[in-house]
Structure 1
Amino acid sequence: MKLFESEGWKSFWPNFLAVILGIVITFGGERLITNCQKRQDAREIVGLFKIDVERHLKISEGLLDDYTAGMSALRQCAAASGRGELDKVHEDTLRCALNSFFSVHGKIRSALPLPDG
């Protein structure tokens, strides 16, 4: 058997096809790996987006709960004031009602003018 001696076109075509097949596998494999990496990156981005949306949703729900509690406290204070029983309203209810008017920085949230007095 002659391993290193050329037999003409008979030995050229298998080698040529092996080289072509190697190139196709290399580029195809590279493309497959790139596509898999892009899909993984997209999954990570979607996952991060989902976490961010869930976090913002929890914050929004907390703000809504605070607003609802403040409005409920304001209603209770208004009803008690109408009956002349504002002094009987619980301290936490009064605090919650006042917090609905004042932000964390102490600025007045209401657009209504304060009464003179």
Structure 2
Amino acid sequence: MSDPRFHPRKMAAPPDRQNFGKVAEISWLKGTTELEVSRIEAARLQHALALKITSRLRDRGYSIRSYAELAGIGYDRMAKVLRGDAVMRLEDVSDAERLLGAIADPLLNDSISR
């Protein structure tokens, strides 16, 4: 796997992989440049999506490994995405929608129904 542009969990304060994608309320860094602000907001979005995905996995009794297999993605990458060590791709969101139901609603549900 190539090195990501940035590590989303490092936008949290502190950059604790124990909380990213697992605990709803975490603190975030304050950006001092437009690039930092953009990456912090992207990390916040990934955190929110990872929270929904991991919650849905728990509800359905899936492990990260079994979900990665269903999605056709390597376990290592899936774990890195959910803990914020790799950037989530749109395909990851699409897979979650397909396999776990509404994850990114209402945004995706609005565009799909058109």
Q: TM-score, normalising length from structure 2?
A: 0.29
Considering only CA atoms, is the larger Rg found in Structure 1 or Structure 2? 1
Which is richer in helix?
Answer: 1
Q: TM-score, normalising length from structure 1?
A: 0.29
